[in-house]
């Protein structure tokens, strides 16, 4: 896990990259309490790889405790919508989350894709017959 902190006019922006390392969570806790007291801190997690939900929970629980102890305001950015259920099921009262919507890629509707979609729909609804309007009399 690699971190990069940038000082902004209203606080710090900290970017996390790599794999979440649970062994560094306590070190991070100590650094935050020592160096970031009474600050606004934005965590950018979009490039952080989570090993599993246990790592996520430990990480957010630690950061939430730091926020309570060190008067640090945290904004957590870059988590995709998949993490929303995990985060919302726990009471992280001192953290603010901004989830990133991961939208499916746009399917351009062309005549070929429309036929493909229609054929797939007809396959799942066998009682309905496809009529060919070009040969209809």
Q: Does 18 have pLDDT greater than 50? A: yes
Q: What percent of the chain has pLDDT over 90?
A: 32
- In degrees rounded to 5, what are phi and psi of residue 38? 60, 35
Q: Which tens digit of pLDDT belongs to each residue from 44-81?
A: 998 888 765 567 888 899 999 999 997 899 999 998 77
User: Pairing mode, if any, of strands 40-49 and 2-8?
Assistant: unpaired
Instruction: Determine contact, residues 3/14, Cβ cutoff 8 Å.
Output: yes
What would the two tokens of residue 10 be? 């209203």
Provide the pLDDT for residue 70.
77
Q: Which domains does the chain have, with CATH numbers?
A: 2-101 (3.30.750.24)
d(CA 29, CA 64): 10
pTM value is 0.68
Q: What is the pLDDT of residue 107?
A: 45
| pLDDT for residue 126 | 53
């Amino acid at each position: 896990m690699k971190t990069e902190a940038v000082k902004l006019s209203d606080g710090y922006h900290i970017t996390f990259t790599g794999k979440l390392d649970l062994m560094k969570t306590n070190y991070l806790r100590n650094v935050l309490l020592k160096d970031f007291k009474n600050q606004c801190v934005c965590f950018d997690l979009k490039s952080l790889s989570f090993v599993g939900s246990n790592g996520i929970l430990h990480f957010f629980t630690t950061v939430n405790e730091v926020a309570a102890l060190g008067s640090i305001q945290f904004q957590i950015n870059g988590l995709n919508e998949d993490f929303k259920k995990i985060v919302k099921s726990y009471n992280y009262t001192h953290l603010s989350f901004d989830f990133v919507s991961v939208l499916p890629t746009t399917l351009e509707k062309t005549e070929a894709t429309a036929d493909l979609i229609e054929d797939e729909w007809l396959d799942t609804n066998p009682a309905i017959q496809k009529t060919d309007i070009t040969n209809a009399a």
